Amino acid sequence: MTQKLRDNEVAVATDAPRDAALHFIGRIRTPFTRRDLCPRQGRLDGPDCRLVLDAPWAAGLAGLERYEFADVLYWLHESRRDLVLQSPRSDGAVRGVFSLRSPVRPNPIGLSKVAILRIEGPEVIVRGLDCLDGTPLIDLKPDRCAYTIAAPDKPADRSP
Amino acid sequence: MTQKLRDNEVAVATDAPRDAALHFIGRIRTPFTRRDLCPRQGRLDGPDCRLVLDAPWAAGLAGLERYEFADVLYWLHESRRDLVLQSPRSDGAVRGVFSLRSPVRPNPIGLSKVAILRIEGPEVIVRGLDCLDGTPLIDLKPDRCAYTIAAPDKPADRSP
């Protein structure tokens, strides 16, 4: 993996992260076994991948079958975290990390919208991922576009 | 805040989370000063909110002005994390956490698509958030729909 600085890139000094802690809830199985095999962005017509939930979280999949798409959050465990300005083309032109979807970011959380193909016990078979085989899974939510809130109204939900 | 179990809800025993650590990169200022004032989902025509980046991360905003929308990730710091089955209507009907966009989840990361109104130094003024004033900011990425990858092609990007 290339983790050397390119021309004009800027790394910042930060303390070790300790503001909050994550609990990996499973692993993602993809056909991408090396970083150079990962597409830069997932495609909904890409290969089948599997979200494999650890016990006891598999029970949390109940009801997911009613959705066609989901947002998947995962931990980009091989990324450095200190590059505030980055040069995606290695040509000396830099951009801020928050104007890129680069895996190199202060909190290396990947986010993809996936198509849900089916659920098999503790596994969700999906399309649309771009991450390495074995990537830790952090979260899975119904896609916001299709999501209808199940809870009763509260005052803040009503339009002004 | 209501953190008691409702009928048929299931909490699981987990170890203290320690798989990865987050670094808060700033705070979110919203008009929602109590949980009952937060809408259940942000609206792109909702009130103006501010993403206030800490130094040294403000430099990472360079280039964000070219996007109209962004994905914002934030830490729902008041949420319990152990409810695998939840009853959104408190009526005894439960659903798995991963079929809900509830703030109560093993890794309480909120995700909203926001409209970027303007950038003022270390602050991004946006619409579309639903979170409490003071919520810790984790990440900010250009919306995937409008995002064009800045880097040169690699073999995995080409269609089969």
CB neighbourhood size of B72 (10 A)? 26
Residue A107 lies in a domain: yes
**Structure confidence at residue B2 (pLDDT):** 47
Low-confidence stretches of chain A (pLDDT beneath 50): 1-2, 160
- What does the H/E/C string look like for chain B? CCCCCCCCCEECCCCCCCCEEECCCEEEECCCCCHHHCCCCCCCCCCCEEEEECCCHHHHHCCHHHCCEEEEEEECCCCCCCEEEECCCCCCCCEEHHHCCCCCCCCCEEEEEEEEEEEECCEEEEECCCCCCCEEEEEEEECCCCCCCCCCCCHHHCCC
Nearest to A62 among B17, B96, B149 (CB): B96
What are the CA-CA distances from residue B124 to residues B34, B58, B137 (Å)?
22, 10, 12
Residue A118 lies in a domain: yes
> Closest chain B residue to A34 measured between Cα atoms?
B156
Mutation to test the A interface, candidates B15, B64, B73, B107, most A Cβ within 10 Å: B107
Residue pLDDT tens, chain B, 160 long: 446 888 989 998 888 888 999 999 999 999 999 988 988 888 899 999 999 999 999 999 999 999 999 999 999 988 899 999 999 888 889 999 999 999 999 999 999 999 999 999 999 999 999 999 999 999 999 987 767 777 777 777 765 5
> Closest chain B residue to A141 measured between Cα atoms?
B98
**CA angle (B22, A27, B40) in 5-degree steps:** 55
Q: Please count the structural domains in chain B.
A: 1
Q: Do A107 and B77 touch (CB under 8 A)?
A: no
**Structure confidence at residue A81 (pLDDT):** 93
Residue A24 lies in a domain: yes
Mutation to test the B interface, candidates A15, A98, A109, most B Cβ within 10 Å: A98
Residue A151 lies in a domain: no
Residue A5 lies in a domain: no
| pTM, full prediction | 0.91
**ipTM value:** 0.90
Q: Which domain holds residue A46?
A: 20-145
Residue B11 lies in a domain: no
Compute the nearest-CA separation of B73 from chain A (Å): 9
CATH code of A59's domain: 2.40.30.70
- B132 shares contact with chain A (CB less than 8 Å): no
Residue A152 lies in a domain: no
- B139 shares contact with chain A (CB less than 8 Å): yes
Q: Do B107 and A73 touch (CB under 8 A)?
A: yes
Residues 25-44 of A with CB under 8 A from B: 25, 32, 36-41
Chain B neighbors of A89, CB-CB under 8 A: 150-152
> Closest chain A residue to B85 measured between Cα atoms?
A60
**Structure confidence at residue A1 (pLDDT):** 41
Residue B34 lies in a domain: yes
Compute the nearest-CA separation of B21 from chain A (Å): 5
Compute the nearest-CA separation of B15 from chain A (Å): 9
- A59 shares contact with chain B (CB less than 8 Å): yes
